[in-house]
Amino acid sequence: MPAAYILMFGVMILGALVQWNLSHTFKKYSKIRLDSGLTGRAVAEQMLRENGLTDVRVLSTTGKLTDHYNPIDKTINLSEPVYNSNSVMAAAVAAHETGHALQHAMGYAPLKMRSALVPVVQFSSGVVNVLLIAGILLLQSVPHLLLAGIILFAITTLFSIITLPVEVDASRRALVWLERSRVTSYEQQPLASKALRAAAYTYFAAAIGSIATLLYYLTIYMGRR
- Mind telling me the catalytic residues? 97
β-strands 68-70, 75-79 pairing: antiparallel
CA angle 99, 103, 107 (to 5 degrees): 170
Q: Which residues contact 34 (CB under 8 A, 6 or more apart)?
A: 86, 87, 88, 90, 91, 183, 184, 188
In the sheet with 57-61, reading across from the earlier edge strand, the strands are: 57-61, 75-79, 68-70
CA angle 107, 111, 117 (to 5 degrees): 125
CA–CA dist 70, 49 (Å, integer): 18
* C-alpha pair distances (Å), 73 with each of 68, 104, 107, 181, 223: 12, 12, 16, 27, 46
Stated length of the chain: 225
β-strands 57-61, 68-70 pairing: unpaired
What single letter denotes the amino acid at residue 99?
G
Residue 190: Cβ within 10 Å count: 12
